[in-house]
Amino acid sequence: MQGNSSAGFIDVAETFRNQLGRTTGGASLAVYHRGELVVDLWGGLRTDDGDPWLADTLAMCFSTSKGVASAALHLQADAGLVDYDAPVATYWPEFAQNGKENLTVRHVLSHSAGLHRLRSIIDSAHHMLDWDHMVDALARERPAYEPGTKTGYHAVTYGWLVGEIVHRVTGRSLAQVVTDDLAAPLGLDGLFLGCPPEERHRVAPLVPMKSTRSVLPSAAYRAEKVVATQLAKGLSLVRSPINPRRVINALLPRGMEDVLAGPEIMDASVPSMNGFFTARSLGALYATLAGGGTLGDVRLLSPETVEKVGEEQNNRPDLVLIVPMKWRLGYHRVMTSRGGAPKGFGHFGLGGSGAWADPSRELAIAMVCNRGGGTPVGDLRLMQLGAAAIASADRVTATAAS
């Protein structure tokens, strides 16, 4: 492990050190408290050849990318270009078809738009690399339920929905808005959607996804597929909240493994899953949210907009993730291994990366890595680090007040 940690946050550093010792690959961690970078650490291996993780190493962060995409849309709301309660079709006229005429920006940001299905609207994951194809497919799609009446994690579709709204009101791509309007004002060198060719030498390669087909003989794979299909049908009939077919539809279009393993994923903009970040840059963005829209001398958002962003939108069981996520506007609740941050919000991702902000503590944390598993919204590592960061921040605050 390399880097620095202030004295009050040594427990966070020790938690991170222990995690590096128990996992392969590498990671970086950043914690901001009251606008100051109090933990800036990295360690482990960047490649299978033994190259070390460096201070500027980038990692592809899957669903963590949604939090950055959301921030780009909030910039437009803060500038008066987008109204959260306006129909999406106000900005994207082609969207007003198949029952989506009154579907609002708020529905999209709170994952209650009913547009979580992906596998059933594209026949190959390679279409994900074509922005126009994806936004056209979503414009034609009919919601799975009346928008606003249920909640289902828009695991991959979210990025194009948010991104096309930003594109329509700015005339620029979402990736360009992230670069120009989020990263540049804050002076960040590690906040990208897709990865520019000149930055690719910094990327820590991911372990390729292994499909069921790749680890099972063909006969066993066919049997597994039949059983899973029948199980899903049975669960649907009895109205079980757990439906494997729904999860697969939202997360795994056919050929996803090939797309993730191919070089084209760096060239495209898939805003729900191909953000390339350093922990320091990702943490700075969330520190801005934790600071009421300001970090240092830079103001990105008004305090009023940040307050709206953090308001809980729903607490229903999620149709895709099963558990209630307490969705905010583009973010979910903060999950830690103990304690909590009821005023906090953020976004975690498959593989373990994630970040969150707690304006009540002026605290933000971000972790990126290139090895891990867990759920579509992360694993225990960030939960453990978050708990240590909360405890440390509370001790520092109490000490300063005494």
Q: Which two tokens stand for residue 358?
A: 């707690």
Q: Is 45 helix (H, G, I), strand (E, B) or coil?
A: strand
Residues with a known catalytic role: 63
- Looking at the chain, the number of H-run helices and the number of E-run strands are 15, 11
Residue 368 structure tokens:
């990126």
Q: How many beta carbons lie within 10 A of that of residue 304, not counting itself?
A: 11
- Judge whether 69 and 271 are in contact, CB under 8 Å: yes
CB of 338 closer than 8 Å to CB of 387: yes
Return d(Cα 110, Cα 99) in angstroms, integer: 18
* Residue labelled with tokens 């009050």: 8
What is the Cα gyration radius of the chain? 20
CB 393 within 8 A of CB 290: no
Question: Residue 31: beta bridge partners?
Answer: 39, 365
| Tokens standing for residue 90 | 């106000």
Structural contact between residues 384 and 367, judged by C-beta atoms closer than 8 angstroms: no
DSSP, collapsed to helix, strand or coil, labels residue 215 as helix
Query: For residue 276, which phi and psi values (nearest 5 degrees)?
Result: -115, 115
